[in-house]
């Protein structure tokens, strides 16, 4: 299984869980629009970069910006927002992530 792209921040395991979010369902990383790097969460980004996070504008939700930490498939934002599991490996995503979507996506 390929481990590409690189995930930055305070990850705690090979499924992109981090020190802030580490439940069984916390298996995605988000490519941040500001720096084009994957991080497990907004807190990892803010603690390890020297710039503020930028949200993905709605017109760019067709970009691959979500990484499944189980199979490492990259998903578009539209695909991710329209499902509760990875379309490739069927791993369940944390539905509570929707509470933080405004940190990542404008819209």
Phi, psi of 95 (to 5 degrees): -65, -20
Answer yes or no: is pLDDT of 1 > 80.
Answer: no
Mean pLDDT of all residues in 80-90: 97
Answer yes or no: is pLDDT of 3 > 90.
Answer: no
Rounded Cα distance, 29 and 67, in Å: 5
Per-residue pLDDT of 29-55, as tens digits, reads 999 999 999 999 999 999 999 999 999
Rounded Cα distance, 52 and 75, in Å: 23
Mean pLDDT of all residues in 78-100: 95
Give the CA count within 13 Å in the CB-facing half-sphere of 38: 25
In this prediction, residue 4 carries a pLDDT of 80
Beta-sheet pairing, 74-76 with 38-39: unpaired
In this prediction, residue 50 carries a pLDDT of 96
């Amino acid at each position: 299984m390929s481990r590409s792209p690189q995930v930055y921040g305070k990850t705690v395991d090979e499924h992109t869980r981090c020190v802030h979010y580490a439940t069984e369902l916390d298996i995605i990383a988000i490519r941040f629009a500001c720096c084009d790097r994957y991080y497990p969460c907004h807190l990892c980004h803010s603690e390890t970069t020297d710039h503020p996070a930028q949200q993905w504008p709605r017109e760019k939700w067709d970009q691959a910006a979500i990484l499944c930490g189980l199979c490492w498939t990259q998903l578009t934002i539209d695909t991710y927002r329209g499902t509760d599991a990875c379309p490739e490996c069927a791993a369940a995503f944390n539905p509570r992530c929707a509470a933080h979507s405004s940190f990542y996506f404008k819209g």
